[in-house]
Structure 1
Amino acid sequence: MTDRELPPLNALRAFEAAARHQSVSRAADELHVTHGAVSRQLRLLEEALGRPLFTRQGRQLALTEAGEQLRDGAGAAFDQLRDAWASVRRPAQAPFVLGCAGSVLARWVIPRLDRLGRDLPELKLHLSAQEEPLTPALGGLDGALLIGAPPWPVNWQVSVLAPERIGPVVSPRYAGWSRLAGQPANALIDEPVLHTASRPQAWRDWSAAAGLPTPPHTLGQGFAHLYYLLEAALAGLGVAIAPEPLVADDLASGRLVAPWGFRQTSASWVLATPARGADPRAPSLARWLEHALASDEAVR
């Protein structure tokens, strides 16, 4: 075999599966062939190489030094080939399926869709509201825009877009606003504040970051989702707490005010995509999202 000659590819495929599983039987199951067929391919590869690739340890296979070297190279090559095949098979005009929580979708993504369409005309988005926790496989999504903190699933590729900042917001229509206006943040300790079941720790986290001795003592009306919480704040029902980007437009218009400021949490805005076979359009979307979040910050 010359330096430029490839090994028998069927045999190499059988070897890669057997090395990954450390089992001829499991490799045969994956490849939908018989145990004997895989064994024959492994013998063919060893004969072509002129030295063993495996030794047996009981019922399991153990790689020799040459086997480990070939496993690393073959595994990387097959991963790259699978990713390239998945990319080629993907229809050129297929939409990019982006999942995000309903509140993020309604209050941040949709108001910016027109700008996104102008900046990335080649990217056709299909938006999917996700109210349940995302699965490690991302549930068939091409990507997910979310607020969270590590550790992340090992089969995600995560692009960090911006740190999360949260803070209290209130409508000037709120009946208690005249009492709170101009008061320091500790005035909220005795205020019955609005809250949401989806972020039960939000008031505690903001209070600690703001240097308050304790979170507000009284939780007022609660809501199942952040979207409803912010609608209640807009309706003048009380003081709510929210991620800054989700209220950016309301602050700019004066529908809400945030006199006590926003504080950074341990979470971040991220775009999660599959670690393998990721859509090649994901990096440009990540850059756009990062810039859009930074632009919102700069405007304020």
Structure 2
Amino acid sequence: MSRDLPPLNALRAFEAVARLDSVSRAAEELHVTHGAVSRHLKALEEALGTPLFVREGRGLALTPAGHRLHEAAEVAFAPLRQAWTELRRRPHAPLVLGCPGSLLARWMIPRLDRLARDMPDLTLHLSPSETVPDARLAGMDAALLIAEPPWPAEWQVHELAIERIGPVVGPRFAGVDRLRDASPDALLALPLLHTASRPQAWSDWARRNGLDPSALQLGTGFAHLYYLLEAAEAGLGVAIAPEPLVAEDMRAGRLIAPWGFVDTDGRWALVAPRRSTDPRVARLAEWLRGELA
């Protein structure tokens, strides 16, 4: 009698190879040998009577049959993984929240005391990262980020606020008095501090203020926004930043925003895997939305 479903172990091996584009990496993830994965793939191909992979350079490529089986396997395994993860989660286990390091240091950490008072049953494990997380949000229950839509289809997205950016300068900057009453084109004569984590911020702000982005002079660059703003506070030049990350510095007089802030196409968002049913994510999103308001 023929099977109406493939062997589970063989299907797991196939799905891992298709997802990771590597027999070796699939074997490592499944904690089996390279040969065991290869035998599973061969068994599936013999049962189907058609190849699932073809050699492409040094790697593997899915055949049309392979693509069809991979799509079905993804649909089957993704909710199983999510349900298993949630069922294994201990009661009151921390919510693993990914967050850019600069946002974590300048905005999230100063609010943790208030979050603990408002949501005493929520324990966070904060995982800093300067890159936008991949579509699978690997290793995270949710991620707080500033980015532009469209969003990956694999995410459930809680948009929190429109991103607003503007130039900021410290009171120790040599030309700060001239900037207080100057028009935005005064920046064309200055080397501007910038960050690799948001390379288009200055160009975006310039266009929205009627300036030619190609006329800007970029000066010292920093790997992270945190260091960029430290440099601005030290009087080393004019930086550009999201408004919520500098609001407290402006209230304390450590930074000045001569031309205010403008809306961008970016959004503050809390994202989670689409199939997540963790109720803490929606509650945290509502709390963050209130803080940003």
By how many angstroms is 1:79 displaced? 8.0
1:149 alignment partner in structure 2: 148
Structure 1 residue identity aligned to 2:289: E
- In 2, the alpha carbon distance for the partners of 1:132 and 1:192 equals 26
TM-score by length of 2: 0.73
Task: Report what 2:157 is aligned to.
Answer: 158
Deviation per residue, 1:66-90 (Å, 9 max, x gap): xxxxx9xxx89x9878755543331
Residues 265 and 233 (structure 1), Cα distance of their counterparts in 2 relative to 1, 3 Å cut: same
Q: Write the deviation string for residues 139-193 of structure 1: whole angstroms up to 9, x where unpaired.
A: 2111110111123222211111111111000111111112222111111121211
Give secondary structure in 2 for the equivalent of 1:98: strand
Amino acid at match of 2:191: P
Work out the CA distance in 1 between the residues paired with 2:12 and 2:135.
Answer: 24
Task: Give the Cα–Cα distance (whole angstroms) in 1 for the partners of residues 205 and 12 of structure 2.
Answer: 53
Shift of 1:199: 1.4
Determine if contact 1:191/1:216 at 8 Å carries over to the other structure.
no
Match of 2:139 in 1: 140
- Aligned partner of 2:275 in structure 1 is 276
Question: Percent identity, aligned pairs only?
Answer: 56
CA RMSD of aligned residues (A): 3.0
3-state SS of paired residue (2:279): coil
Q: In structure 2, give the amino acid aligned to 1:143.
A: A
Write out per-residue CA displacement over residues 189-210 of structure 1, whole angstroms, 9 at most, x where no aligned residue. 2121111122111111001112
Change (3 A) 1:119 1:259: same
- TM-score, normalised by the number of residues in structure 1: 0.71
Partner of 1:291: helix, strand, or coil? helix
2:179–2:258 CA contact under 8 A, matched in 1: no
CA distance in 2, matches of 1:238, 1:28: 59
Structure 2 residue runs without a partner (length 5+): 14-39, 48-64
Rounded Cα–Cα distance in structure 1 between residues aligned with 2:79 and 2:146: 30
Letter of the 1:261 partner, please give it. G
Change (3 A) 1:139 1:87: closer
State the AA in 1 paired with 2:266: A
CA contact (8 A) 2:130 2:197 kept: no
| Aligned match for 1:29, one of 3, 6, 10 | 10
Amino acid at match of 1:242: A
Change (3 A) 1:101 1:287: same
Give the 3-state SS of the residue equivalent to 2:203 in structure 1.
helix
Are the aligned partners of 1:149 and 1:268 in contact in 2 as well (CA < 8 Å)? yes
2:208 equivalent in structure 1? 209
Residue of structure 2 equivalent to 1:287: 286
1:182 is aligned to: 181
Write the distance in 2 (CA, Å) between the matches of 1:143 and 1:79.
Answer: 16
**What secondary structure, in the 3-state scheme, does the structure 2 residue paired with 1:111 have?**
helix
Query: Where in structure 1 are there 5+ consecutive unaligned residues?
Result: 1-13, 19-23, 39-58, 63-70, 295-300
Indicate conservation of the 8 Å contact 2:202/2:213, yes or no.
Answer: no
1:149 and 1:116 mapped to 2: Cα distance? 26
